[in-house]
Structure 1
Amino acid sequence: MRVGVVGCGVGGMAAALALARRGHEVTLLEAFAAPRPLGSGLLLQPTGLAALKALGLDETIRAAGARVERLEGHDTRGRQVMDLDYGDWRTGAHGVGIHRAVLFDTLHDALVPAGVTVVTDARILRIENPEKPVLHDERGRAFGPFDLAVIADGSGSALRSAVRPGARAPVYPWGAVWTNATDIDSRFAGALRQVYHRAEVMTGVLPVGRGPEGETNQVSLFWSLPVADIDACLAGDFEIWRRERLAPLWPEAAALLEGREDWAGFSRAIYRDVSVGRWSREACVLLGDAAHGTSPQLGQGANLALVDAVELAARLNQDQRPTAMAVRAWQGQRRRHTGIYQLASKGLTPLFQAHGAFWPLMRDLFFTPMSRWPGLKQLGVLLLTGTLRLGRFPSETRP
């Protein structure tokens, strides 16, 4: 089968690699002349690690990343808001914090050896004939025809409406700024830690292991804020922000940034609430954030995309029906997983990112106490690990 994959992010590269290793002729089309990762760090859950194992890359990632055994969250009054331990799901279980550039390089380095043809500087703007897709870029070039087009160009997808004209992808009102730092004393090892002030301020530190240049003991620090305020934040006085905003909330996190003079090294992140209905149109299919992007609150975006990719390749290998039917069957299977996280994201995000006193009050009165009850705590751990799914995982991605 000839497959065209649009997008050189985590989902696109994983899909290209999974399909190529099953014998398909894969062309990966990337908009940038030099593909590059966006963002700082991410947390790979047992589901994402299972998908990477299916791709033969999990050991490389584990060696480069940092073991994360729990999620801790406190408010500025010292009250514990979140306390989830991977061991409550399965003995010895853990996540892996990883620098996005390291994950990107690991996937990217595997493409050509697997037989994937990588075409850069090809910003795809139009799909011709969805039954036998031909992909047209902004320079007038045509790629294809393909037997399948996988659209994995992220939550801000330029092609989503071509596949599903009624799709919606509004920007979440809250985003974040991210940076990497060195945790010299390993003070932040072992856990994703967060601090909240009501629901209007959230900051966190995630250990990510090795940096892209070989740096050790790296962590990613994020500061959540309204999207409308990001530009003003990054144009403001860095030291005033560090000393007067971050340090009073979390002195240890502020200490990570001592010696910095400005916002250099920070990246901005915005998120979209993606709703498309069916993900496919004939032989064109959306994958990853292009199909089901959510708030980052549950930290599942890259993990869901990795599972999408591996399960799509497996479905196409097993399902002998026409491509369009096999793709729809794959989507039905995946929605039993992704749909839960889209719903949970909508429900939980206001508890941690919202103006006013109502949502943090609801969190403090109901969510935090109930999350410690045995049954609900187990549900929280399932959400954290990415393993909450209606039905069983296929063998290819079973954690």
Structure 2
Amino acid sequence: MRAAVVGCGVAGMAAALSLARRGHVVTLFEAFDRPQPLGSGLLLQPSGLAALRVLGLAEAVLALGARVERLEGRDLSGRRILDMAYADWRPGAFGLGIHRGSLFQVLHGALASAGVDLRTGQEIDRIEDSARPRLVDARGEVHGPFDLAVIADGSASRLRGQVRPKARAALYPWGAVWANARDPEGRFADALHQRYDAASTMMGVLPVGRGPDGAGNQVSLFWSLPLAEMEGFFAGDLDGWKARAREVWPETAPLLEGFASPAAFSRASYRDVTVGRWSRGGLTLIGDAAHGTSPQLGQGANLALIDAVELAERLTPNRSIAVSLTRFQAGRRRQTEPYQLASRALTPLFQSSGRLGPWVRDQLFAPLSKVPGLRRISATVLTGMLRLGRTPPNLRP
């Protein structure tokens, strides 16, 4: 089978690798002349690590990242609001904080040996013929036809509307800025730490292990803010922001001193993607292009990796591409839809200007976190293993 993949992010590279390793002829199209990761750090859950094991890349990723045992969040007074431990799901379980650049290097480095034909500087503008897709780039060059075209160009997908014209992808009004720092003494090791001032301010530190340059003891620091204030952050007074950050979380002062200008930060915005069916004919959306949501549960990259593995497994010689894609989506939505719903429900509790949401969060989360049965349920959600149905055996951690 001839397959095209559009987008050289986590979802696109993982899909290209998964398809190529099953013997398909794969062409991966990327708009930029030099593909590069966007953002700072991310948290790989046991579910995402299981998908990387299927791809044969888990050991390489584990060697670069930092083990995360729990997630804990406190308010300005130091009172614990959020307390979730991987061990409540399964003894010995953990997440992995990793620099996006490091994950990118592992995935990108595996493309050539898998036989993936990576074509950079080719921005795909248009899709012709959904049954036997042809991809038309910005110069008017036609690529294909292909038996399958996988659209993995992210939550801001330019091609999503050509697959599903009624799809919606509204921007969340809140985003975040991210930057990396050194934590040589390991003050923030072993956990994703967060601090909250109601829901108008959320600050977090995630250990991510080694950066792409090989330097160890890296952490990613993030600061949540409304999109309307994003430009002001990058054009504004960094010293003033540092003073505010120290008020929120005094222990981060050594990290903050390493930031010389706003240019040290990358920006992140998020979309609530509603697609309905992901596929049409020989076309399918995957990753954030199909089911992007807010980052409150930290599942974006993990769901994308699982999409890639399950897509390749659903394609069988005795079944048409269109039927295979329909069955692929039916299986994946048993996992992606619960996470989309949960993220939508949680977002106002952590990123909003209102007072009711964070009050409910503060009154309920801490007491509920002490209930053993509920701790296991919340840990299951955290690990990425929530699914309304059977998890494929090879994707069980």
**Shorter-chain TM-score: what band?**
over 0.9
C-alpha distance in 2, partners of 1:28/1:372?
Answer: 47
Q: What is the SS of the residue equivalent to 2:175?
A: strand
**Following the alignment from structure 1 to structure 2, what is the Cα–Cα distance between the partners of residues 78 and 260?**
25
Secondary structure of the residue aligned to 1:135 is strand
TM score, norm. by length of structure 1 = 0.98
Give 1:355's aligned residue. 353
Pairs aligned (count): 397
**Residue identity matched to 1:385:** T
Partners of 1:159 and 1:394 in 2: CA distance? 30
Match for residue 148 of structure 2? 148
- Displacement of 1:259 after TM fit? 4.3
Secondary structure in 2 matching 1:98 = strand
**What's the secondary structure of 1:195's corresponding residue?**
strand
Q: Answer yes or no: is the 8 Å Cα contact 1:69–1:94 preserved in 2.
A: yes
Deviations 1:364-399 (A, max 9, x none): 223432243222222210111001111121123122
2:127 — aligned with what?
A: 127
Letter in 2 for 1:363: R
Instruction: Specify the code of the residue in structure 2 equivalent to 1:291.
Output: A
Cα shift readout 1:160-182 (whole Å, capped 9, x = no counterpart): 00000000000001100000000
**Alignment match, 2:194:** 194
CA contact (8 A) 1:200 1:354 kept: yes
Distance across 2 between alignment mates of 1:254 and 1:9: 33
Q: Within 1, Cα distance between the matches of 2:215 and 2:67? A: 16
Q: Which amino acid aligns with 1:95?
A: G
Cα distance change on mapping 1:65 and 1:259 into 2, 3 Å: closer
Could you tell me which amino acid in structure 1 is paired with residue 363 of structure 2? L
Aligned to 2:103: 103
Q: What does 1:124-273 align with in structure 2 at a 5 Å threshold?
A: 124-243=124-243, 245-273=244-272
In the aligned structure 2, how far is the partner of 1:336 from the partner of 1:356?
32
Once residues 41 and 47 of structure 2 are traced to their aligned partners in structure 1, the CA distance between those partners, rounded to angstroms, is 17
Unmatched 5+ stretches in structure 1: none
| Aligned mates of 1:361, 1:91 — CA distance in 2 | 32
Residue equivalent to 2:379: 381
The 10-residue stretch of structure 1 (176-185 or 260-269) with the greater mean CA deviation from structure 2: 260-269
Q: Percent identity?
A: 62
Equivalent position amino acid for 1:211 in 2: G
Q: Deviations over 1:235-283 (max 9, x none)?
A: 111112112x100111122321214321122000000000000000111
User: Are 1:311 and 1:396, in contact at CA under 8 Å, matched by a contact in 2?
Assistant: no
- Asked whether the equivalents of residues 272 and 294 of structure 2 are also in contact (C-alpha less than 8 Å), the reply is yes
Instruction: Provide the C-alpha distance between the structure 2 equivalents of 1:367 and 1:274, rounded to a whole number of angstroms.
Output: 27
1:141-171 CA-partner distances (Å, limit 9, x unpaired): 1111000000000000000000000000000
Gaps of 5+ in 2: none
Separation in 1 of the partners of 2:225 and 2:371?
31
Contact kept? 2:278, 2:284, Cα under 8 Å: yes
The farther-off stretch of 33-42 and 259-268 is 259-268
Secondary structure of 2:310's aligned partner: helix
For the residue of structure 1 that corresponds to 2:199, the secondary structure is coil
* Number of the residue aligned with 1:84: 84
**Root-mean-square deviation over aligned CA pairs:** 1.0
Output the amino acid matched with 1:316: L
| Structure-1 separation of matches of 2:291 and 2:259 | 37
TM-score calculated relative to the size of structure 2: 0.98
Does the 8 A contact of 1:239 with 1:261 survive in 2? no
Give 1:315 deviation, angstroms: 1.1
Secondary structure in 2 matching 1:155? coil
